[in-house]
Structure 1
Amino acid sequence: MRIKQAFWGLIAASILLVIHSSCQSKEEIFRQQYVVEGMMQYEKHCENCHQKDGSGLKNLYPPLAKTDLWKRLNASQIACIIKNGQKEAILVNQKSYQNYMPGNSKLEALDVAEIVTYLRDKWGNDPRIFSLDSARLALKNCN
């Protein structure tokens, strides 16, 4: 009996998902794909230091959640930090963080675009997609 209920529950959930997805624009579905992929990239490359909830690691690594970072840095600057690292101290919420952040040469422009989109969506209160073209341009122009 439980298997039958679970089966029908799964069918109902699938139908609701299809209905919900069909109500979204192609652009929104594409943006959500960037967010999900960015979340997976964040978990793989960033979470160890900045934590799952973006709270940072004590005095070692700055928080990404609930910070002034999103008002002070634009998406291109964030992309450059993700790809190339951060050697100088960075000021976050009026606190200086001195630890070196290594860059990640293995990240492609698409990976960076997805991570930036995820970070802005999750903690930057900015639901816009950071496009592949924008990431390529930003990474080309990093200082």
Structure 2
Amino acid sequence: MPSADTLLKPREAAAELGLSYPTIKQWILSGKLSSVKTPGGHHLIPRSALAPLLKATPKPRETRERFRQVSGRNQLIGKIVEVKISGLLAKVVLSIGDQRITSIITADAAREMQLRKGQTAAALMKSTEVMITRV
């Protein structure tokens, strides 16, 4: 378990809070989020400063009950095996049985949902066409 006194880079703090890097920088510069400046002028954020900002994370459920608010019914539930954020996009790979589904979503959405390897998630498909190929 990480120490409450651990110093985080702004990008690491942004990932933990599910926020964008520019938002964290604005909060540092406005004084909303305390930081420590390195001799090189970089900001480091004490993990303890994040505690009041952390949202309670809901406990994942492996049922479709929580998705009933969405009209789409084509949902496959699995485990996240990879989350790779690069620039504006994020690659999320779900393992469902012995198959994998890859989705490309915005990096902001991945951060907002606080997607992490090992979590339970659902792939929701919405399409006007479904193609079948013989294997």
TM-score (norm 2): 0.20
TM-score (norm 1): 0.19
More helix by share: 1
More strand by share: 2
